[in-house]
């Protein structure tokens, strides 16, 4: 499953296009921000990472133990997982 990274969320462009930002920052500065907001290494990590939502971490101790066991299993099998 693929998730949008923070730097690509719609609110960023919405904020940059807001009247307040248009008044405070020059068009050139907003353009530079958009260019600087590119994060290719983060994009790659986001595509390959394991995502744990906050709701997952609000479970019982048994739930937390199962999550920890799954992470350990991933770590132990990382070489095989990298091949796929």
- Mean per-residue pLDDT over the chain, rounded: 88
The percentage of the chain sitting over the pLDDT mark of 70, rounded to a whole number, equals 94
- Which comes out higher in pLDDT, residue 57 or 3? 57
In angstroms, the first-to-last Cα distance of the chain is: 15
- Exposure string of 15-24, with b = 16+ CB inside 10 Å and e = fewer, is ebeeeeeeee
Q: What is the pLDDT of residues 10-37, one digit of tens each?
A: 999 999 999 999 999 999 999 999 999 9
Kindly list the domain boundaries of the chain, sorted by start residue.
1-49, 51-84
Compute the C-alpha angle 53/56/62, nearest 5°: 155
User: Nearest CA to 36 among 10, 3, 12, 17?
Assistant: 12
**pLDDT score at 43:** 82
Dig out the tokens for 83 from the structure.
């091949």
């Amino acid at each position: 499953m693929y998730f949008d990274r923070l730097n690509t969320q719609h609110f960023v462009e919405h904020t940059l296009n807001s009247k307040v930002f248009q008044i405070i920052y020059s068009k050139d500065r907003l353009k530079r921000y958009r260019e600087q907001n590119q994060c290719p290494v983060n994009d790659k990590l986001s595509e390959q990472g394991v995502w744990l939502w906050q709701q997952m971490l609000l479970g019982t101790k048994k739930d937390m133990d199962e999550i920890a066991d799954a992470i350990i299993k991933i770590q132990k099998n990382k070489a095989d997982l990298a091949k796929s």
